[in-house]
Amino acid sequence: MSELRKEYEKFQEAKRQWLDKRLPRTYFQDQEARYVHPFQIFGNVWYVGDSWVCVHLIDTGDGLLLLDGGNIGATAMLVNAIWEAGFKPSDVRWMVLSHGHLDHIGGAVFFRRMFGTKIYLGEPDARDFRKHPELSLVHEAGSLAHDVFEVDHEITDGERIRFGNTEIQFYLTPGHTDGVISAFFDVTDGRRTVRAGYFGGFGFNTMRKDFLLDIGDTAFRTRQIYLDSLAKVRDQKVELFLGNHCGNNHTLEKAEMLRAGCKDNPFINSTEWGAFLDQKRDEMLALMADPEQN
Ligand SMILES: [Zn+2]
């Protein structure tokens, strides 16, 4: 083995160990194994995410909107998925990020610099990026993430924004992070119009005891904030529940059903949203009742 090769192997091993201490490495390496062939969900909404993190593409008739930015380190896959779906990555005018975590902001820097894509993020997470970039976890990602990116528009609670033919109603639904957004909009296939709903962050990883003590939330207030957020949007009319991660709405199982020629679109279901938000509420209540978490 050449000296250079040995040096390189040493460097790679050190990087692996460094990552392992901070992040579950499996989520950020060998990502091509999680590539998903893009597919049309309904009307102008397409799936261009991987098998873990969702990314939705909306063809607004006046440019493309990406709902979320994909996993850090997976931007080449995102670009490929957009091409494979029959669109051009350079037509992505807007990227709306669900929240400021590494597995959702992957494409932000690249799309902004390469295509001039405007980046949208909930105001509290954007503020954290500005004032406390050290809390963004970007530094935890080693060489996967180079920069804390700039946000072009900070989304506020109740804001309604038009993107081409699609008007999106936004709410801030904090808990998982302070700036998690939720989004609601109409989708049509020309014959039928349904209301889509998206909740931008369900994960409990940031609401467990150790994490909350670490960030100074000794009264665990974040958990009640999360419950309040679920309640806030629970009764929105949602007929098309879009996942933030595939597990939220069984994205891949439904994709299989679509591929198999299922007559009724499995993504269209008027009870799924409420049932899932209730499930998350019950799971949070169980966590709050767990002596080991208090
Ligand atoms: Zn997150």
pLDDT of residue 11: 72
CA of 212 from ligand 1 middle (Å) equals 14
CA of 8 from ligand 1 middle (Å) equals 32
pLDDT band at 140 (very low <50, low <70, confident <90, very high): low
pLDDT surpasses 90 at 196: yes
Name residue, tokens 């767990």. 290
CA of 4 from ligand 1 middle (Å) equals 38
Supply φ then ψ for residue 211, to 5 degrees. -65, -45
Return all residues near 129 (Cβ < 8 A) that are at least 6 apart: 100, 121, 136, 148, 149, 151
Q: How far apart are CA 284 and CA 278, in angstroms?
A: 10
Return all residues near 233 (Cβ < 8 A) that are at least 6 apart: 171, 173, 182, 184, 197, 199, 277
Q: Where are the extended beta strands (E) located within the chain? A: 39-42, 45-47, 56-59, 64-67, 92-96, 118-122, 153-155, 160-163, 166-172, 181-188, 193-199, 240-242
Amino acid symbol at 257: M
pLDDT of residue 166: 98
Query: What DSSP letter does each residue of 157-178 carry, written as one string?
Result: TT-EEEETTEEEEEEE--SSST
Least confident window among 45-54, 100-109, 154-163? 100-109
The count of residues in the chain is: 294
CA of 101 from ligand 1 middle (Å) equals 5
Handedness of CA 214, 200, 234, 274 (dihedral sign): negative
Name residue, tokens 């040995």. 6
Least confident window among 17-21, 59-63, 221-225, 245-249? 17-21
pLDDT band at 218 (very low <50, low <70, confident <90, very high): very high
CA of 260 from ligand 1 middle (Å) equals 32
Supply φ then ψ for residue 81, to 5 degrees. -65, -40
CA of 102 from ligand 1 middle (Å) equals 7
Radius of gyration for the chain, computed over Cα atoms and rounded to the nearest angstrom: 19
pLDDT band at 22 (very low <50, low <70, confident <90, very high): low
Tens of pLDDT, residue by residue over 92-109, are 999 999 999 889 999 999
pLDDT surpasses 90 at 137: no
- For ligand 1, an ion, list residues with CB under 5 A: 101
Tell me, rounded to whole angstroms, the distance of Cα 58 from its chain centroid.
Answer: 15
Mean pLDDT in residue range 150-157: 95
pLDDT of residue 15: 64
CA of 42 from ligand 1 middle (Å) equals 26
Percent of the chain predicted with pLDDT > 90: 78
pLDDT band at 67 (very low <50, low <70, confident <90, very high): very high
pLDDT band at 219 (very low <50, low <70, confident <90, very high): very high
Q: Quick check: 200 and 98 in contact, CB under 8 A?
A: yes
Residue 106, Cβ density class (10 Å: 0-12 exposed, 13-18 middle, ≥19 buried): buried
pLDDT band at 2 (very low <50, low <70, confident <90, very high): confident
pLDDT band at 197 (very low <50, low <70, confident <90, very high): very high
CA of 264 from ligand 1 middle (Å) equals 32
Q: How far apart are CA 278 and CA 131, in angstroms?
A: 34
148 secondary structure, DSSP code: P
CA of 103 from ligand 1 middle (Å) equals 7
Q: How far apart are CA 57 and CA 45, in angstroms?
A: 6
